[in-house]
Chains A and B, each alone.
Chain A
Amino acid sequence: MTQAKKLVLIGNGMAGVRAIEHLLKLTTDAYEITIFGSEPHPNYNRIMLSSVLEGGADINEIVINDWDWYKENNIELHTGHTVSRIDTDNKKVTTHLGLEAEYDTLVIATGSNPFMLPIPGADKEGVIGFRDIRDCEIMIETAKTYKKAAVIGGGLLGLEAARGLLHLGMEVDVIHRNAFLMNRELDEPASVMLKRELEEQGMKFLLSKQTASVKGNKRVTGLAFSDGTEICADLVVMAAGIVPNVELAQATGLEVNRGIIVNDYMQTSIPDVYAVGECAEHRGVAYGLVAPLYEQGAVLAKHLAGVDTDGYHGSVTSTKLKVSGVDVFSAGSFRDTPGTRSMRIQDDFAGTYKKIVVKDGKLIGAVLFGDISDGAELFSQIKKGESIEGREKEILLGFAPGGGGAKKDPTAHLAALADDEIICGCNGVSKGAIGDAILNKGCNTVGAIKACTKAAASCGGCKTDVEGLLHLYAGDAVGEPVKEGICGCTTHSRDEIVSEIKRMGLKTIKEVMNVLEWKNPEGCSKCRPSLNYYLGMLFPEEYVDEKESRITNERYHANIQKDGTYSVVPRIYGGVTSPAELKRIADVAVKYEVPLVKFTGGQRLDLLGVKKEDLPSMWEDLDMPSGHAYGKTLRTVKTCVGNTFCRFGTQDAMGMGIKLEKAFERMNAPAKVKLAVSGCPRNCAEATIKDVGLVAIDGGWEIHIAGNGGVHVRATDLLTVVKTEEEVMEWSSAFLQLYREEATWNERTMHWVERVGLDYVKKALEDHEVRMALKDRLDKAISLQEDPWKKIIEDKELRKNFEQITAPQPVQS
């Protein structure tokens, strides 16, 4: 084996590391790789920074290659090091902290810097770019204490920053020099539609404005414009463009124009020195989008690995923007110039716009607004450069085979794409790679494709295309439409399974799986608990609950924490306790050295960090029932003090809450169920974001349903208004039993009600007899349940599962 060559990469960003990833696929032993990065992070997805601001992703989630990846691939990584000198004579680089590294091959991937307007005051505190994690952190921090933000630049980057700042709760002014937003990527009609849409989201625009100076002392207080007007601002984000970061290359003596000049193999003017990504300029173009950078990286990797490549020939770029529900797309030359002809459709009612530009019979550009599903096909057509003469209308109206303007088959354009077309621009995943995942790797959901290929795993803009491909491939290959069962073990839906159980009187999980021909004989962590629930719901008296088919928390009647310890929440009805009870909880916490005691959002006490082996004896010492804070059951009934003490209270909220909690305690349900009771319309118990929420009014109760305060906040729908506590019990029991009988396992009330419709629920519950029958069935089911903690304390066989096996004895083998 020949001695490995030393490869040094300057810049730990997307383009450079992507090239390395590609290189490692081609050869693992040809190079010893060292990477220098200025930022203190592993390689992350810069495009996703806007998702971080919008709250869709956590900073850790946008990491592309974590620290382990570098280790596993024997890459020496130096973060926090900015390379300050390249000595091309002696072939070595030096960082600003004095670290040196020799190279045989050097790759410069220093990316670009935000273009900071050279105006007075641009160096004040509170003036930033939008480029890296640090900028995001500053925005998030600033939004906590300041109110007004100004974004300079109404292009892609500026609008993403503005959207993120809006999400962080700031008021945002976007200042743009041009009269039209995204004027480089969109034509005027699309730009006007975009502006209208974003204004509705709360963004404010100052167009045709030139910023003259940044006002303020140490920190920014506002902006002044060339026309003499001013605005206030506590934070200024400069997003007026990017400039290739070429300082180091210039100092090294490389040929530099706007970017570092490279040839088709990404070689610079000095031998063994390459440049790739935003810092490079190829045939006069420095790209700032991810797809061309990936194409460059692939060429560079092949060249370095000695694999045949005919080089990089430049990219035709397309732009996709997704800001909170607004989809825009543009590609190629979409402006009307002498020699071009265009066609367009604008639909202000549906909020869509489409324009195609034709020159010499060929499609050369397109703009889409509102519906961008044709983007990939148009882009492909532009790149192919074939004549479309006579088909212009067909293309404008959607790619309907045979034309006619009818609504096209949504998968037709995907079928027409070549295998190497990129579907997911963020992660560079081609149509062929997605097809392979579906046909050969058994991916049958978008989630599986995402996990397998990373397609649609970043901005999500290509999800529709990925879904389309799923139908295309799975449909053709399997010869039947893809039908998703409740999990990968079956093609049966929840309703089919439940009706078959009823029809055939199936009485155990094993029987259901046998009769309905499960693919995996013992099922999985999704279908086993589902079936266990359905059987228990259908046959409360006969069915013997299978503890091994319960999820971990329900099996051990405590909440598992990330370190394997558990948490204990005793039942405190309605959140009303007593000094004696509190003392007992405190004593137990001290005795078992509980590391953390916390009040929960549901007015309970949570003892966290408990060792599993201590659980049964803690429960015994507490001598309180399980609070069921861990299961798909009734969790808590939160209450306000109501008329017992409160001068506004109109009803006994605590009494009502306790009554409800005692009635529904231990109720198994498809998903967790939370209740609240407020004693007056001020609603201090936040009843309108609960599965069932009661709000007292003078002389009665409002019964609200299907609210949620979790991932998706949803306010409740009003089910009905009743007069007495008996009626409250009747209606809420009936609602809960209907939910128990008809919802899918793991489906919260809000999703169920949205699926079946509020009218359906109201209609199903309108009859008193029906309500009473539902209530009877619920009462019966609950009466058969006993307190799980007590049961475990008293049963040695159950209790042993909480203990470790002790005293292993070595034996002669």
Chain B
Amino acid sequence: MTTKFLIANLSDIDVKSSRKLKIDDKEIALFRLSDNSILAVDNKCPHKGGQLSEGMVCGTAVHCPLHDWKIDLRSGRVHEPDEGCITTYKTEIDHESGSIYVTI
């Protein structure tokens, strides 16, 4: 069963930046890319659990702040040569109001 949540407004997140939020026990990192799209993933690097919301956003990837693992935010896949993957969540933006929705 999935639920859709209204979580934030586009203006809450700076471009090439991230904010984090908790839904139940899940910690989710919300990213705003330079094309103003919003992507949501589990806020936990598969390597040592670093908080991805604190990392640097480059294109569609984020670099984990702890050991610089590079993770693609669209597929959830870790870039080579490291290996691993994280859960991604569906997001929607209402461009008129700027509302951001995420489906968990």
* Interface positions of A (Cβ within 8 A of B): 441-443, 448, 451-452, 520-525, 528-529, 548-552, 556, 560, 562, 564, 612, 800-801, 803-806, 808-813
Contact = CB atoms under 8 A, between A and B. Distances in A.
B80 A551 contact: no
A811 B8 CA distance: 13
Given A451-B81, A451-B82, A560-B66, A521 B59 contact: yes
Contact of B4 (A520, A564, A811): A811
A79 B21 CA distance: 41
A591 B14 CA distance: 30
Interface in B59-73: 59, 63, 65-66, 68, 70
A548 B15 CA distance: 8
Given A560-B65, A804-B20, A552 B54 contact: yes
Given A560-B66, A801-B17, A805-B20, A448 B58 contact: no
Given A524-B70, A564-B51, A805 B30 contact: yes
Given A441-B80, A548-B16, A806-B21, A520 B7 contact: no
A556 B63 contact: no
Contact of B21 (A448, A564, A804): A804
B95 interface: no
B52 to A, nearest CB: 10
Contact of A525 (B16, B19, B20, B68): B68
A805 B54 contact: no
A520 B6 contact: no
A529 B58 CA distance: 11
Contacts of A800: 12, 19
What are the 4 A-B residue pairs with the smallest beta carbon separation, nearest first?
A451-B81, A552-B65, A525-B63, A805-B21
Contacts of A522: 16, 34, 57-59
B56 A552 contact: yes
Interface in B1-32: 2-8, 12, 14-17, 19-23, 30
A560 B48 CA distance: 14
Contacts of B82: 451
B50 interface: yes
A73 to B, nearest CB: 14
Contacts of B15: 548
Contact of B58 (A451, A520, A556): A520
B55 interface: yes
Given A524-B58, A524-B63, A564-B50, 18 more contacts: A521-B59, A524-B70, A525-B55, A548-B17, A551-B56, A552-B65, A560-B54, A800-B19, A801-B19, A804-B19, A804-B21, A804-B22, A805-B21, A808-B23, A809-B5, A809-B6, A811-B101, A813-B3
Nearest to A441: B80
**Among B81, B101, B102: residue with most chain A CB under 10 A:** B81
A808 B7 contact: yes
Contact of B103 (A448, A556, A560, A813): A813
B21 A552 contact: no
23 contacts: A441-B80, A448-B81, A522-B59, A524-B58, A524-B70, A525-B58, A548-B16, A548-B57, A551-B56, A560-B65, A562-B66, A564-B51, A804-B21, A805-B19, A805-B20, A808-B6, A808-B23, A810-B3, A811-B4, A811-B5, A811-B6, A813-B2, A813-B103
Nearest to A548: B16
Given A522-B58, A811-B101, A805 B66 contact: no
Contacts of B54: 552, 556, 560, 564, 612
B102 to A, nearest CB: 8
Contacts of B17: 548, 801
Interface residues of B, number: 39
Given A448-B81, A552-B65, A811-B6, A520 B20 contact: no
Nearest to B16: A548
**Among A612, A803, A805, A809: residue with most chain B CB under 10 A:** A805
A363 to B, nearest CB: 37
A808 B3 CA distance: 11
A528 B55 CA distance: 13
A632 to B, nearest CB: 14
Contacts of B55: 525, 552
A801 B65 CA distance: 16
Nearest to A524: B58
Given A441-B80, A451-B82, A800-B12, A525 B5 contact: no
Contacts of B58: 520, 522-525, 528
Contacts of A520: 58-59
A757 to B, nearest CB: 31
B5 A808 contact: yes
Contacts of B57: 522, 548
Contact of A562 (B48, B81, B102): B48
**Among B6, B30, B65, B103: residue with most chain A CB under 10 A:** B65
B75 to A, nearest CB: 16
A649 to B, nearest CB: 43
A528 B56 contact: yes
A520 B63 CA distance: 14
Given A452-B80, A564-B50, A805 B4 contact: no
**Among A442, A528, A811, A812: residue with most chain B CB under 10 A:** A811
B56 A805 contact: no
A812 B6 CA distance: 10
Nearest to A561: B66
A693 to B, nearest CB: 31
**Among B17, B54, B101: residue with most chain A CB under 10 A:** B54
A560 B50 CA distance: 10
B24 to A, nearest CB: 10
A378 to B, nearest CB: 32
Contacts of B103: 813
Nearest to A449: B81
Contacts of B5: 808-811
Contacts of B16: 522, 548
A612 B63 CA distance: 19
Contacts of A809: 5-7
Contact of A805 (B7, B50, B68): B7
Contacts of B12: 800, 805
A387 B50 CA distance: 58
Contacts of B4: 810-813
B48 to A, nearest CB: 7
Nearest to B103: A813
Nearest to A546: B16
A522 B102 CA distance: 25
Nearest to B48: A562
Nearest to A803: B19
Contacts of A801: 14, 17, 19
